[in-house]
């Protein structure tokens, strides 16, 4: 099973940026924990602060026949129709993931341009949001034999 994790802007600062909201661990450390826990999964990870590079990563995931994506678009969640269009074009199922509960934050973070096209949305559990999304993706793929 191939899982692509895509993180958007400022997520390279995990462990340094607002640890009260985003935690004190860098994402690479958490990803290594996932790799140990799920050795049968082939993880692909990409992070960028640049919208176009995230779009390219989504396109590449399609070319590489990724089975499922977990995507945290960061602030692009609330602004990027281009990311939405790339996700629609990819036809790769995905879960929208957020470390914080965006609904409990500033009102401009309440709207997402991708939630309605995602398989699901998991947020508010810090880095565990990714682990929960991974479990959900695994179950989804087991019940949807076309992937």
Angstrom distance (rounded) from CA 37 to CA 135: 11
62's enclosing H/E stretch is helix 51-63
Q: Which is the catalytic residue, given 22, 46, 111, 144?
A: 22
Sign of CA dihedral 40, 46, 51, 53: negative
Q: Which is the catalytic residue, given 44, 46, 78, 98?
A: 98
**Please, what's the b/e burial string for 24-42 (b: 16 or more CB within 10 A of its CB; e: otherwise)?**
eebbeebbeebeeebeebe
Phi, psi of 70, deg, nearest 5: -110, 120
46 is known as an active-site residue: no
98 is known as an active-site residue: yes
Residues with active-site annotation: 22, 98
């Amino acid at each position: 099973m191939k899982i692509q994790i895509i993180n958007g802007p400022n997520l390279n600062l995990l462990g340094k940026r607002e640890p009260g909201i985003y935690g004190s661990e860098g994402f690479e450390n958490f990803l290594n924990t996932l790799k140990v826990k799920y050795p049968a999964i082939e993880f692909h990870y990409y992070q960028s602060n640049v919208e176009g590079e995230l779009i390219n990563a989504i396109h590449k995931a399609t070319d590489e026949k990724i089975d499922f994506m977990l995507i945290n678009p960061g602030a692009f969640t609330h602004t990027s129709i281009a990311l939405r269009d790339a996700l629609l074009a990819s036809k790769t199922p995905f879960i929208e993931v957020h470390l914080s509960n965006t609904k409990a934050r500033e009102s401009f973070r309440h709207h997402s341009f991708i939630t309605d096209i995602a398989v699901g949305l998991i947020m508010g559990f810090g880095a565990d949001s990714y682990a929960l999304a991974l479990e959900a993706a695994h179950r989804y793929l087991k019940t949807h034999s076309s992937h």
